[in-house]
Structure 1
Amino acid sequence: MQAIGTDVRTARFASMPSLPRVHIPDLYAELWQLLRQVPVGRVTTYGALARALGDVAAARWIGEFLRGHSHERDCVCHRVVRQDGSLGLYAGQPCEKAALLLAEGVEVRDDRVDLARFGFENFRCAKPLEPLQRFQAKLADRVLLCPLTNRVRRVGAVDVSYHDGRAVAAYVLWDVAEQKLAWSVTAARPEQFPYIPGYLAFRELPVITDVLGAARRGGRLADVVLVDGNGRLHHRHVGVASHVGVLNDVPTIGVGKSLLCGRTDTTGMAAGETRPVWLDDQIVAEAFRPRETGKCLYISPGHRVTLNDAVRVVRAVQSDRRVPEPIYWADRLSRRAARAGPHQ
């Protein structure tokens, strides 16, 4: 993955020189190395592979990737089963998975493998997700929660879409007084890091930084930027909105479409109502119901804003859509650019 401010695999962000270098791993290559360690006659699980990578949160990505990857004849993905020993999904025909395991000496009874006999978890791996967790913990200490100092006249938004192996980011500038789109820009990079809950920043930050850099150079940087994702509402209190804010030195607000973590009660919420979201005995976000029908949004400060500021800004640019107008347009433009392809 191309990182920010240095070579392809290592990042030292210019705005935060005191942060350590962070290596962005090639998780696809790491996963294949783990699969090659599973011996003939043994099986492993999606969860065991995820733990070997450093976080069980990667299990869902592993399952989805192995189901849809380019399946070659010498592939050993049939040696991965669910945590209860059931065979699970397979890139080829489901019956092929059982046949391949039987041919390798693994007993399959009622589409299930006895993990006590055939399970394997003795992986040799450096757990590449753990350094990313440590980086996030250090970055969380750099997040500032402070009131916006100026009147918000221009609100920006960023969103990223994916198509044919490309990540395409859009940045839009929204005029609050006129309630209209004032400017936009897009940028694209190869998609090189998967979606794993809690690690979205390592997937989207480089291309988001590209569009924010273009906005800064063109004098189009907003007073505050909405990010389609979370800020402090994150397992380590540092979601993608906080990464974008700290590492680009801009005020940011996270606007999540689902509850990543924490707890709240949205029962019976009226249109326009907000309710607190608790995480680790702190109020870190507000659930916001923009319309009488439909799901809530989850608003959290990213960097250089307070939670009250974040809610106020989102309300100022909310229309009758589910998401704020700037995020709606950033999503629409990133999708359009992604579908258009690299030569448009």
Structure 2
Amino acid sequence: MRKIIHIDMDAFFASVEQRDNPELRGKPVAVGGSRARGVVAAASYEARKYGVHSALASKIAAQRCPHLIFVKARFDVYSAVSRQIREIFFAYTDLVEPLSLDEAYLDVTENKIGMPSATIIANQIRQRIFEETGLTASAGISYNKFLAKIASDMNKPNGYTLITPDKAEELVASLDIGKFHGIGKVTAAKMQRMGILTGADLRERSEEELVRNFGKTGHYYYRIARAQDDRDVQPHRIRKSIGSERTFETDLSEEEAMLEQLEHLAKEVAHDMERLKATARTVTLKIKYFDFTLNTRSKTFLSEFSSEDAIFTVARDLLRTPQLPLYPVRLLGISVSSLLYQHDRLQEGYQFTLEF
């Protein structure tokens, strides 16, 4: 039987800010946004007590918690800490599947230290993370990815939960459908309208009914209702796009100001591409206007590119597309797709570049 660990950092971005600035410790902190506008990227546990959470509009966050402290995101710092943490994972296994900067799956069925207990490994990892970064992490341990993910949320922050085979089906049956990993808010609402409120309710539905109502994902829902998940931990999980976006405290009205922001975004995207050893063929520009109207434009090339200059040049040209108005802009974003990674290029035996 497999031994899977899911490690989830506790309020990662906010915890890094509290670690680096003692004045923020013990206080409600929101990373990203401001009292005037924007969106919360992360919230400390002190802020969460007031109902502040990621993806919440900053204005609402400030209303819920009047003494909330907003700090600017420092993604370069978060990325550096994430790399530190990942090196700790690799000390135990090469089967590491990062999901984001702050969480990952590890398969420790066979591990580098010859330890038979996945729980001991999980707690060693948590201890090392704390000693080397000053941050806490929570862990879920079980025999498949679905259960490990569920378990890591059960004893946060700074805790761990083990779900053993003899307890798994009972636990899943009692679980609220909104707590199922892989079932989003829209799907959960649809299930609730169908009378599926818990894992036990989900298990009563046939696979045919679930596929009929939810498409191919219905097969997955049928299995997880029975605590089954045969997905492997994928150490080379491929990202389909790389992007960065920014919401502005004051709407941008001048093209010069927009181009300045596009330069910053292009730099961030190029940095991530370099880190991931990736090239791209498609650039997408995202614009959200003052009235929340959203517009996107893309351009695809036959050749690959990865430089900051190339990304900026394409984004600039997309911004100047005649059909796109230049009235006040609330948000700008750049993403690249049609990605090719270094490993793929070596296998194919070619490399193209696109220069501007």
TM range, smaller chain: under 0.3
TM-score norm. by structure 1 comes to 0.23
Return the structure number with greater helix share: 2
